[in-house]
């Protein structure tokens, strides 16, 4: 009786370009900074196993201490991860020759990462619109954040859209459910950077400008009050004036009203470290919090149209799973 052979292991190749900010980094530090959830041990194993090469020559890089230079193109070859299930879809809100607007579901990451490769918005766009669709995202949303995202034409209208975001010409309106009873409008003006003293590389926190923090401000207004798991919660409108990583989530946590379901800023850091270092499943943290996504939604964007310059606004409805807790 012949043995049944195992199916061949699938591999993925991840292209990485060394940007000017990482010029001169050690190879292991560069990889850790680009794929944030890879531990130093895993990075070392990837290098030792010959899984990093130069894209142009194919030369395999075997020294973690080797320096990388701006403009270099590297390729990482890794076994394809068993990706968590996500909603592999989006709702199209608007499209013309210069602008695509969608409503992204919660749980769908926009780009590949250590845990997600094919279960991403970029892959869904390729599958739905074709590999040469030509749309380039003008901004990002966190994986668990739902709502409005806009895209422009690559090497065309996308440039104007990105300039509008950088120039603060875009007005962003978010809705969030937060813990506690929040009663008065407040403007939170706290500069942000990588969290000081944190063991989690992707975590942001208050950092003085003098120490490298970037200015960040968010205005928050309470809308409705209710309960979740027999504890008070508040539906708030958040208007960010800047676009720092995790800005709204950090600002709300800093004033004692963390976003409901936030696994990174709504729990002690030790709980999230159990996922990063201890192998705990992310959905177990969701069960602990009572919600598998964080309750933050990009409800509206108002921006100049990249072709006409006319002001346009796009909205996405409050998701049903959050409306079941508290509706606007």
Q: Select which of 23, 28, 136, 142 is catalytic.
A: 142
pLDDT band at residue 36 using 50, 70 and 90 as cut-offs: low
Please give the pLDDT value at position 2.
Answer: 41
* pTM for the structure as a whole: 0.79
Q: What is the pLDDT of residues 145-183, one digit of tens each?
A: 999 999 999 989 999 999 999 999 999 999 999 999 999
Q: 236 with 251: CB under 8 angstroms?
A: no
Q: What is the pLDDT of residues 210-227, one digit of tens each?
A: 999 999 999 999 999 999
Please give the pLDDT value at position 293.
Answer: 96
Q: Distance between the two ends of the chain, CA-based, in angstroms?
A: 65
H/E/C letters for each residue in 209-271? HHHCCECCEEEEEEEEEEEECCEEEEEEEEEECCCCCCHHHHHHHHCCCCECCCCCCCCCHHH
- Residue 142 pLDDT > 90: yes
DSSP codes of every residue in 214-229: B--EEEEEEEEEEEET
Please give the pLDDT value at position 4.
Answer: 40
Please give the pLDDT value at position 10.
Answer: 72
Q: β-strands 146-153, 99-104: how paired?
A: antiparallel
CA dist 138 and 301 (Å) reads 12
Q: 75 with 53: CB under 8 angstroms?
A: yes
142 is catalytic: yes
Q: 200 with 221: CB under 8 angstroms?
A: no
Q: Which domains does the chain have, with CATH numbers?
A: 11-79 (3.10.290.10), 91-323 (3.30.2350.10)
Please give the pLDDT value at position 7.
Answer: 41
Q: What is the largest CA-CA distance in the chain?
A: 75
State the CB neighbour count (10 A cutoff) for residue 328: 13
Instruction: Output Rg (C-alpha) for the chain, integer angstroms.
Output: 21
């Amino acid at each position: 009786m012949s043995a049944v052979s195992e199916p061949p292991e699938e591999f993925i190749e991840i292209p990485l370009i060394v940007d000017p900010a990482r010029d001169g980094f050690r190879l292991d530090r560069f990889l850790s900074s680009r794929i944030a959830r890879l531990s130093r041990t895993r990075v070392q194993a990837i290098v030792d196993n010959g899984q990093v090469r130069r894209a142009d020559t194919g030369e395999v890089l075997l020294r973690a201490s080797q320096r990388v230079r701006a403009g270099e193109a590297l390729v990482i070859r890794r076994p394809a991860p068993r990706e968590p299930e996500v909603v592999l879809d989006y709702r199209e809100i608007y499209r013309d020759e210069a602008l695509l607007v969608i409503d992204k579901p919660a749980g769908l990451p926009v780009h590949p990462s250590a845990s997600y490769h094919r279960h991403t918005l970029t892959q869904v766009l390729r599958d739905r619109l074709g590999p040469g669709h030509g749309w380039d995202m003008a901004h990002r949303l966190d994986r668990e954040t739902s709502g409005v995202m806009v895209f422009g034409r690559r090497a065309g209208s996308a440039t104007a859209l990105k300039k509008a975001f950088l120039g603060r010409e875009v007005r962003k309106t978010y809705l969030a459910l937060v813990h506690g009873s929040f009663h008065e409008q407040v403007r939170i003006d706290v500069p942000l950077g990588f969290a000081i003293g944190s063991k989690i590389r992707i975590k942001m926190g208050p950092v003085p400008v003098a120490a490298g923090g970037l200015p960040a401000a968010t205005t928050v207004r309470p809308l409705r009050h209710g309960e979740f798991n027999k504890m008070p919660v508040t539906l708030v409108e958040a208007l960010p004036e800047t676009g720092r990583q995790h800005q709204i989530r950090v600002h709300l946590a800093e004033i004692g009203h963390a976003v409901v379901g936030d696994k990174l800023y709504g729990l002690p850091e030790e709980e999230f470290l159990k996922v990063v270092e201890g192998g705990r499943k992310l959905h177990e943290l969701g069960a602990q919090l009572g919600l598998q996504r964080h309750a933050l939604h990009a409800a509206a964007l108002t921006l100049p149209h990249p072709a006409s310059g006319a002001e346009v606004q796009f909205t996405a409805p409050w998701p049903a799973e959050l409306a079941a807790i508290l509706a606007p």
